[in-house]
Structure 1
Amino acid sequence: MFIAYAVVGILLAAVLTGSAFATFTKQEAVVGSMTKVGVPDAWLPRLATLKSAGAIGLLIGLWLAPLGAAAAIGVILYFIGAAIYHLRAKDYAIAPVVVIFLLAVAALILRLASV
């Protein structure tokens, strides 16, 4: 199970890192979606920091299981919030949010199973 967690955790960390970088640099692909659903510009650095923290936590979680689980829970909660924002704005193009959410759920289950 640990190898499965490592693969999923590293993949999720890479996705989060890319998304955080795109948010920090205000690339239209990510920021446009966030502004479309009503996320204030002032939140962007904080949200990018949360994504970065999740990625770092997942990677350190390869050695410290509780941190890996906590990071996965944090990412799950982040993307539940993202889904709520999209649905409130009646924006149903939430496939990326759902995919990342499911990756985080898989990471949590695999991290807990590999302890």
Structure 2
Amino acid sequence: MSITVVVTILTAVWVGFSGFSLMRRAQFVVEPLVQYEVPRPWWTPLALAKFAGAAGLLIGLVVPVVGLLAGTGLVLYFLGAVITVLRARSYKTVAFPLLYLAPVTATLALGLTA
């Protein structure tokens, strides 16, 4: 199994976990969203976007263009999350969206070089 496959699978699981946690309204996820003033009606669509991105990464192992599009979308998603945290001036929590942005960016980069 190649490093690209392993990183892609691990990233998809990580992003899927994030979507699942948001759908379950896990306290460690929703408390910051309230603090950042992310409207509650956005929460489900944001979780679904994470699920779609995770699925797209996995599909990309068979259909590379889907993986590249999913990776690009997830990079934009988590860049938006970083911006949201910074706009809320919650500097101590900016590491959390970066923990998702980093593997998504790595996965995208590996996909572009494959």
Normalised by the length of structure 2, the TM-score is 0.94
Q: Runs of 4+ in structure 1 displaced over 6 angstroms? A: none
1:28-67 to structure 2, matched below 5 A, reads 28-67=27-66
1:109 aligns with 2:109: yes
Gaps of 5+ in 2: none
Q: CA deviation at 1:40?
A: 0.7
1:1-115 to structure 2, matched below 5 A, reads 3-92=2-91, 93-114=93-114
Q: Distance in 2 between matches of 1:44 and 1:38?
A: 11
Gaps of 5+ in 1: none
Which amino acid letter does the alignment assign opposite residue 28 of structure 2? Answer: A
Q: CA deviation at 1:58?
A: 0.4
Count of residue pairs brought into register by the alignment:
113
RMSD of equivalent CA atoms: 1.1
Which amino acid letter does the alignment assign opposite residue 69 of structure 2? Answer: A
Identity %: 37
After superposition, the C-alpha distances for 1:45-72 in whole angstroms (9 at most, x for unaligned) are 0000000000000000111111111111
Q: CA deviation at 1:102?
A: 1.3
- The more displaced of 77-86 and 6-15 is 6-15
Normalised by the length of structure 1, the TM-score is 0.93
Q: Distance in 2 between matches of 1:99 and 1:21?
A: 16
Q: Distance in 1 between matches of 2:84 and 2:94?
A: 10
